[in-house]
């Protein structure tokens, strides 16, 4: 299948390499042309994983987004949510009927990006979908080398508009056989693990993160108090899902630590052992704050308000994060009131997510 991968981060390079190795014809686009040059020059991305090290040929690498998207059945955007609106605007002139765009993970970006593309004047019948995590635990080890700690074993995925879920899932499954359907884009967004795992990790580790040059939030940064707050935050996410009427499995994050039922299987020990997560995290600019907290947790807290679900941990963490960055994160860019969606009743919200905005 022809697949476009959009973005320049760890996940995009893993996507381009893995999907190429699986036999797909991949076009990799990133906005930073100079940074892409090593891939263009060598024609390859090197994978390091349990199978060893190998060079994978990438069919196309380009800084022209129109060229990357042309003819692609599937467009995969494994980029942080903060990149989504810029990428939507850059893609808008080029999307065509039948294409499927997959956001692993999404942060409700499938709804926002679809509407941004329509607002830019492109009325093509494109289906958007999102899941709860990146299909790889991965860090770059060089300008065209990725170290993949593991791959996802389950990818719960919701589509926007949900009436085209079957088409979206059929296309995505060709690239990601472990995809599992969930109700709609909001259900997919409420599977996102980033806003659950990262806010407690960065807020409760704020002092060591600012004191030490590098700190491993998953190793010494994950103490019982942090786990306990994370578990409570995740129970709030699940209560919100239930208040929305979404069915189990809810992918409790505790499974990531205790079992092999979660999206990556039993991998937490491997992640800690890799040493790749001992890093410098700037509390103002790192995506754990700008993506998972300012967008993702703010979205979750607003859905809690909208469904009248009790969510003291979500709101408490959001308030402290707001204190760190000096902003009222209740009014974040993805909070339902900011999106103009908080006035809908549940039936109208369901209809919007199923049919798409008229
Ligand atoms: N890495 C991991 O193991 C995991 C990641 N995730 C999630 O997966 C997603 C991808 O993560 P990861 O790959 O690590 O992210 P990165 O932090 O590596 O992504 C950074 C890249 O995003 C691109 N980018 C940033 N802003 C923009 C923009 N406005 N327009 C276009 N491109 C932009 C930049 O490309 P350029 O340099 O070309 O400007 C940059 O290189 C995130 O949502 C993350 O939360 C989830 C679980 C695990
Ligand atoms: C590994 C994981 C799931 C937790 O930090 C992640 O999201 C990341 O590193 O970006």
In tens, the pLDDT along 87-105 reads 999 999 999 999 999 999 9
DSSP 3-state assignment of 248?
A: coil
d(CA 238, CA 254): 12
Q: 256-260, 330-334, 349-353: which has the minimum mean pLDDT? A: 256-260
Q: Is the CB of 91 under 6 A from ligand 2?
A: no
Pairing of strands 74-76, 100-103: parallel
* Four-residue CA torsion sign, 160, 166, 171, 173: positive
Angle of helix 194-204 relative to helix 224-243, nearest 10 degrees, comes to 150
Of 303, 155, 287, 310, nearest to 232 by C-alpha is 310
Residues contacting 19, CB < 8 A, separation 6+: 3, 5, 26, 76, 175
Phi and psi of 3, rounded to 5°?
Answer: -130, 135
pLDDT given at position 159: 98
Residue 19 predicted with pLDDT over 90: yes
pLDDT given at position 27: 98
pLDDT band at 324 (very low <50, low <70, confident <90, very high): very high
Ligand nearest to the CA of 87: 1
Of 264, 246, 226, 227, nearest to 134 by C-alpha is 264
Contact 80, 105 (CB under 8 A): no
Residue 269 predicted with pLDDT over 90: no
Ligand 2 centroid distance, CA of 96 (Å): 33
Q: Is the CB of 197 under 6 A from ligand 2?
A: yes
Residue 262 predicted with pLDDT over 90: no
- CATH number, domain 2-189, options 3.40.50.720, 3.30.559.10, 2.40.30.10, 3.90.1580.10: 3.40.50.720
ipTM score: 0.97
Secondary structure, 3-state, 282-310: CCCCCHHHHCHHHHHHHHHHHHHHHHCCC
CA distances from 124 to 106, 119, 120, 192, 252 (A): 21, 12, 11, 27, 36
Every domain of the chain and the residues it spans: 2-189, 194-355
CATH topology for 194-355 is 1.10.1040
Residue 258 predicted with pLDDT over 90: no
Ligand 2 centroid distance, CA of 327 (Å): 24
Q: Residue of the nearest CA to atom 7 in ligand 2? A: 194
Residue 61 predicted with pLDDT over 90: yes
Residues contacting 343, CB < 8 A, separation 6+: none
The two domains 2-189 and 194-355 share their CATH topology (first three levels equal): no
pLDDT given at position 275: 87
């Amino acid at each position: 299948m022809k697949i476009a991968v959009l973005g320049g981060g760890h996940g995009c390079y893993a996507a381009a390499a893995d999907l190429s190795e699986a036999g797909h014809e991949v076009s990799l686009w990133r906005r930073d042309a100079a940074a892409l040059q090593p891939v263009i020059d060598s024609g390859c991305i090197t994978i390091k994983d349990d199978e060893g090290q190998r060079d994978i040929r990438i069919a196309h690498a380009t800084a022209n987004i129109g060229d990357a998207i042309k003819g692609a059945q599937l467009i995969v955007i494994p980029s942080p949510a903060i990149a989504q609106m810029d990428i939507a605007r850059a893609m808008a002139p080029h999307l065509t009927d039948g294409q499927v765009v997959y956001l692993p993970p999404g942060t409700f970006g499938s709804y926002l990006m679809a509407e941004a593309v329509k607002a830019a004047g492109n009325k093509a019948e494109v289906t958007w979908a999102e899941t709860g995590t990146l299909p790889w635990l991965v860090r770059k080890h060089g300008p065209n080398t990725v170290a993949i700690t593991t791959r996802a074993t389950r990818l719960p995925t919701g589509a926007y508009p949900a009436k085209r879920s079957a088409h979206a899932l059929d296309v995505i499954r060709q690239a990601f056989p472990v995809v599992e359907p969930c109700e709609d884009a909001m259900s997919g967004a409420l599977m996102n693990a980033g806003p659950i795992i990262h806010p407690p990790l960065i807020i409760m580790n704020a002092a060591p993160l600012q004191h030490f040059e590098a700190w491993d939030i998953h190793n010494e940064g994950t103490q019982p108090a942090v786990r306990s707050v994370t578990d409570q935050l995740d129970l709030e996410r699940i209560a919100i899902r239930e208040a929305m009427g979404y069915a189990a499995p809810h992918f409790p994050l505790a499974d990531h630590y205790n079992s092999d039922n979660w999206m990556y299987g039993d991998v937490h020990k491997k992640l800690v052992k890799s040493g790749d997560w001992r890093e410098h995290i700037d509390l103002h600019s790192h995506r754990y704050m700008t993506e998972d907290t300012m967008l993702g947790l703010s979205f979750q807290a607003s859905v809690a308000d909208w469904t009248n679900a009790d969510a003291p941990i979500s709101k408490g963490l959001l308030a402290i994060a707001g204190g760190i960055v000096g902003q009222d994160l209740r009014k974040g860019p993805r909070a339902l009131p900011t999106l103009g969606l908080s006035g809908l009743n549940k039936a109208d919200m369901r209809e919007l997510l199923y049919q798409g905005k008229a």
